[in-house]
Amino acid sequence: MDAGRLLDAVSRDKTQVLPEEAERVATVGAWRVVVLNDPVNLMSYVVLVFRRVLGFDEATARRKMLEVHEQGRSVVWTGLREKAEAYAFTLQEWHLSAVVEADEAH
Amino acid sequence: MKRIEVKLAVPVVAPLLDVIRALGEAPPVPPPGVNVPPDADPDLRGAWIGELAAAESTEVRALLALFDEAFFREGVVAFDAENAEVILRACSVLRLRLRESYLRAWGDDALESGDVEAGPFEPGGHKAMACFLFLATVQELILQHLGDNILTN
């Protein structure tokens, strides 16, 4: 099951959101998907996952992987919360340690 | 369809399969690396963890299915575009589980560098480390020969 369907399934029965509230949620800040380093997953595996899940080209995927490896974390995507959650879920399906954080800069 | 066949030494691999089976049969706990978003409601939290746990179970079963009666007769396992992704993921989660269960004493630097010639093993650690390295080799083979297939799937 992909993350989009998971999130759809979860939100289906929720209380109806008022239009003004939906607009506020859609515009309030940005959210970051951050991948954290782990000592287990191979570098080549992480590069493949970044290319497969996030659509990075080889060079970008390698650069982001090295950020994770050397700095312990890398921001791999920024945007609306729902999509950030979907990306984090998919990265976790690939067994990368991915978290969603509020982007304080926005 | 591209396919690679790997000949393995059955007497060497069989004990490692016992480790993998034991990990696969362990009581269900959240998979390693699961991080549910902050402020997630209970429904999302439950679905998030449940889906990942179910996926892990499917992956481990797919890996173990490679080592069937034919494998014990001929010592050959095959990887192709159809099973490459699920096997790759199975290896990843099993290596994470091995670290959690048996390899903590090694420290992250040793595991990351692969410099595991010496060190303090916990009970069952020798077999677990052999399994950890075996699964990495399987991943490297798949990435090298079938990585492009996974990207285009």
* Span A24-57, pLDDT tens digits: 444 456 999 999 999 999 999 999 999 999 999 9
Give dist(CA B129, CA A40) in Å, integer: 12
Give the A:B interface size as CB pairs under 8 Å.
83
DSSP notation for B29-47: -PPTT--PPTT--HHHHHH
Distance from CA of A94 to the nearest CA of B (A): 6
**Cβ <8 Å between B92 and A100:** no
Q: Closest chain A residue to B95 measured between Cα atoms?
A: A40
**Cβ <8 Å between A38 and B139:** no
Q: In what order do the strands lie in the sheet with A30-36?
A: A73-79, A30-36, A97-103
Provide the CB-side half-sphere exposure for B76 (13 A, CA): 6
Chain B residues in contact with A95 by the CB 8 A cut-off are 31-33, 89, 92-93, 96
B47 interfaces chain A, CB cutoff of 8 Å? yes
**Cβ <8 Å between A95 and B96:** yes
Phi, psi of B117 (to 5 degrees): -65, -35
Question: For residue A14, what pLDDT band results from cuts at 50, 70 and 90?
Answer: very low
- Rounded to 5 degrees, what angle do the CA atoms B67, B49, B130 make? 35
Q: In this model, does residue A18 exceed pLDDT 60?
A: no
Q: Supply the pLDDT for residue B118.
A: 56
**Cβ <8 Å between B111 and A39:** yes
Q: Of B56, B57, B86, B95, which to mutate for an interface test with A (greatest number of A Cβ within 10 Å)?
A: B95
Q: In this model, does residue A3 exceed pLDDT 60?
A: no
Q: Which of B53, B51, B58 is nearest to B29 (CA)?
A: B53
Partner A, chain B 55-114, Cβ-Cβ below 8 Å? 55, 88-89, 92-93, 95-96, 99, 108-109, 111-112
**Cβ <8 Å between A41 and B151:** no
Q: In this model, does residue A12 exceed pLDDT 50?
A: no
* Predicted complex ipTM exceeds 0.85: yes
- Give yes or no for a contact between A27 and A80, defined as CB atoms under 8 angstroms apart: no
Q: Supply the pLDDT for residue A106.
A: 61
**Looking at the partner chain, which of A40, A96, A102 has a beta carbon nearest the beta carbon of B111?**
A40
- Rounded to 5 degrees, what angle do the CA atoms B146, B149, B151 make? 115
Q: Please write the tens of the pLDDT for every residue from B63-87.
A: 999 999 999 999 999 999 999 999 9
Chain A residues in contact with B51 by the CB 8 A cut-off are 1, 6, 89
